[in-house]
Amino acid sequence: MTEQRVIVEITNNIAHVKLNRADKLNALDMPMFIAIRHTIKTLRKNREIRAVIVSGNGDDFCSGLDVKSIMKSPMNMLKLLFKVLPWRSNLAQVVSTGWQAIPVPVICVIQGRCWGGGLQIALGADFRFATPDSSLSILEGKWGLIPDMGGTVALRDLIAVDQAKKLAMTAEMFNGEQALALNLVTEIAATPLEDAQAFALSLMSKSPDAIAANKKLYNKSWKGSKGWALFRESYYQIRVLMGKNVHRKIYNQTHDVEQHKPFLTRKKW
């Protein structure tokens, strides 16, 4: 049952992750939460992949929490919210925050409904490509709840606090164009999946170690002290220079395409 909730296909070193519950608008039940967590753990260990594209099967990305299914058992909420260490992600949060632990670009493709938990998942990606008419909402307020699936971590880096409060308090719905104006999506496209694929392929000519180092550098240094940011710049650059892929990139940059050498397996980042 868990395996059916998420489909993963790796083609040309790009991992295509598809939420697979189209008959329920890809709503999140317990098997879906568990399947997403398992997918993130598996992809994090895969040093061959160069990008991850997350989408939903059918017409919608994810309509949020399957309230009826989750509320069938009181233990479900305990399993979702329980954590040993308060500052670590629980099961509900890791489906959003976990994508940042994968050292490759994670691109979320939004079409149809992207509500509540669905939006929290999307916010955890590095990039979001959406259709102009997609429907987004921090929907938890409709049920008398607050957003608690890790999206707050990403939201604070994307939009002003007054806009975040407004969206969370009203639970209003907005389309892809409005999401772009709010800086909640990276790009608007009529064919977001194809555009995400093209973007992922364009990154194939870049060193996988440089890509991984960039992601880690900005994730750790966007907030915090100037001193630590400067330290990480130098330290990560040394790690990149000590690898072999930087030399492959320099060689490829100075030779014709027919002479290009393939990149080696990414270092552990």
What tens digit of pLDDT does each residue of 44-80 get?
999 999 999 999 999 999 999 998 899 888 898 889 9
Non-local CB neighbours of 139 within 8 Å, separated by 6+ positions: 64, 115, 116, 119, 171, 173
* pLDDT tens digit sequence for 213-226: 999 999 999 988 99
Q: In whole angstroms, how far apart are CA 146 and each of 5, 117, 175?
A: 25, 11, 21
Q: Report the C-alpha gap between 123 and 125 in whole angstroms.
A: 5
Q: Provide the b/e sequence for 22-41 (b: ≥16 CB within 10 Å).
A: eebbbbbbbbbbbbbbebbe
Confidence of residue 23 (pLDDT cuts 50, 70, 90): very high
* pLDDT tens digit sequence for 86-122: 999 999 999 999 999 999 999 999 999 999 999 999 9
**Average pLDDT value for the chain:** 95
pTM of the prediction? 0.94
Query: DSSP of 234-245, one letter per residue?
Result: HHHHHHHHTSSH
